[in-house]
Structure 1
Amino acid sequence: MLQLPQPPKPTVIYPDSDGRAMADNTKQFRWIVVIQQNLEWWFAADPNVFVAGDLLWYPVEGNNKIRMAPDVMVVLGRPKGDRGSYRQWEEDNLPPQVVFEILSPGNTRAEMNHKLLFYDRFGVEEYYLYDPDQHELSGWLRREEFLDVIDPIDNWVSPRLQIRFEMGASDLHIFRPDGQPFLTYVEIARQVEQERQRAEQERQRAEQERQRAEQAEAKAKRLADRLRQMGIDADQV
């Protein structure tokens, strides 16, 4: 029987953008950057931890309609590097293990429910949702094949990232495994400048001590010279 050639499969294009803004306001943007950059900083020495912000994730090859762009996502076991999108079948089929969403006034309940179902369906292990306006943190952890609510969330430690969430009086505090808090770029720059100033003060103090020691030595030498001129042995004084 004559076999007819199969028509080639159509090429599927996976856009690198969904046309939506990364954030709706400065507060949401600041939180996205703080979480993404601090996680990037903490895992900087590990070449196989990929951290991204607002990157489209395609979990199913051949279907460019199934996609999501978490505000922040972490993939343990994938190399660092630039990507236009995260195509899971090209990444050893590893889904992001941890995702973060920062709520804004423009997010609807239906939208957030859809995101939760998406993350549950496609293998996310930990999902954290923070509302900076209402100061509310929610979390879900994969237990028995589905994402279950984390309760209580205050002082919760992420099993995958080992970071700790602490609900302050009016703000969320996140701590690295070494106990250091997540900081904004401005706070980091301020700390660097304070360290630079302290180092400069220490250098100036050391220089002053050196100068005082040199002056004391020169004074002692002048005194010894004067005593010798008077016929006195300075070592016998």
Structure 2
Amino acid sequence: MIAQTPTEATANIIYPDRDGLPMSDNTKQFRWIVTIKENLELIYAQNPDVFVAGDLLWYPVEGNNTIRQAPDVMVALGRPKGDRGSYQQWREGGIAPQVVFEILSPGNRMGEMNRKLRFYEQYGVNEYYIYDPDRIDFAGWVSNGDRLESIEEPTNWTSPLLGIRFRLEAGELEIDRPDGQPFLSFVDVDLRRQAAEQRAETAEQRANDLQQQSARLAAKLRELGIDPENI
């Protein structure tokens, strides 16, 4: 029998793309996951070296497919955009996702969230944020050396790495982009686009109407023997 070398053993390990768990437990949780993920994509749309993902399995240790976590949203600065079946850290230049988000559902338990906190702390996350949309409860942790420490005032907080601002307004979490614009749902983004297009069309129509009125007035003045250029 030929002994298998560690390299061969590692190469034969399969890292599944799915863990069998649903992305979300309800529509509210799903809406928040998508909103945060897509707005982060929008912020970094022109930066090819920022990878944003939702519900993607992250394997931090080569050779061990049982050490894994699937953050609701994660951001890996310094990693290229592109499709992945999973985030295998050793294939990503050893770079861990620096920022992760978890959106709670009624099914989440404190023990589970504590295990996630320890995982993210152990494997190099710099910022960790949790939002419970049912209780309107927001919490965050930032790295201090090799530990994640709780943020004292998370409801008026700006992410050191992402520059986004978290605040509680009218009984709900609001997130602002670095340029001050709020995070919006896909529907709200499209509604704003349609409104902007309508305003542009209205302004163009008004300009055309004024131009036509001016042309009619000039023609009338010429009929009266008046040169509109000399008025």
What is the TM-score normalised by the length of structure 2? 0.94
Are 1:146 and 2:147 an aligned pair? Answer: yes
- 2:3 matched residue in structure 1: 6
**Secondary structure in structure 2 of the residue aligned to 1:224:** coil
The AA in structure 2 aligned to 1:173 is E
The AA in structure 1 aligned to 2:4 is P
Deviation at 1:218, TM superposition (A): 0.8
- 1:166 matched residue in structure 2: 167
Moved over 4 A (4+): 233-236
Deviation at 1:155, TM superposition (A): 1.5
- 2:220 matched residue in structure 1: 219
Q: Which has the larger radius of gyration?
A: 1
**Secondary structure in structure 1 of the residue aligned to 2:225:** helix
Any unmatched runs of 5+ in structure 2?
none
Alpha-carbon distance in structure 2 between the residues aligned to 1:168 and 1:198 = 29
- 2:128 matched residue in structure 1: 127
Deviation at 1:109, TM superposition (A): 1.3
Alpha-carbon distance in structure 2 between the residues aligned to 1:88 and 1:144 = 20
**Secondary structure in structure 1 of the residue aligned to 2:174:** strand
- 1:230 matched residue in structure 2: none
Distance change >3 Å, CA 234–CA 180, structure 1 → 2: closer
**Deviation string for 1:200-233 (max 9, x for gaps)?**
11011001001101101110111118xxxxxxx9
Alpha-carbon distance in structure 2 between the residues aligned to 1:185 and 1:100 = 19
Alpha-carbon distance in structure 2 between the residues aligned to 1:147 and 1:178 = 27
Alpha-carbon distance in structure 2 between the residues aligned to 1:22 and 1:154 = 26
The AA in structure 1 aligned to 2:3 is Q
Alpha-carbon distance in structure 2 between the residues aligned to 1:59 and 1:224 = 85
- Provide the aligned length of Structure 1 versus Structure 2: 227
What value does the CA root-mean-square deviation take over the aligned residues?
A: 2.0
**Deviation string for 1:9-63 (max 9, x for gaps)?**
3310000000111000000000000000000000001000000000000000000
- 1:27 matched residue in structure 2: 28
What is the TM-score normalised by the length of structure 1? 0.92
Matched-pair contact (CA < 8 Å) for 2:222–2:228: no
Alpha-carbon distance in structure 2 between the residues aligned to 1:53 and 1:144 = 27
Matched-pair contact (CA < 8 Å) for 1:224–1:234: no
- 2:50 matched residue in structure 1: 49
The AA in structure 1 aligned to 2:198 is Q
Matched-pair contact (CA < 8 Å) for 1:49–1:78: yes
Matched-pair contact (CA < 8 Å) for 2:221–2:228: no
- 2:94 matched residue in structure 1: 93
Alpha-carbon distance in structure 2 between the residues aligned to 1:234 and 1:87 = 74
- 1:229 matched residue in structure 2: none
**Secondary structure in structure 1 of the residue aligned to 2:28:** helix
Alpha-carbon distance in structure 2 between the residues aligned to 1:145 and 1:87 = 21
Alpha-carbon distance in structure 1 between the residues aligned to 2:2 and 2:64 = 24
Alpha-carbon distance in structure 2 between the residues aligned to 1:177 and 1:23 = 27
The AA in structure 2 aligned to 1:36 is K
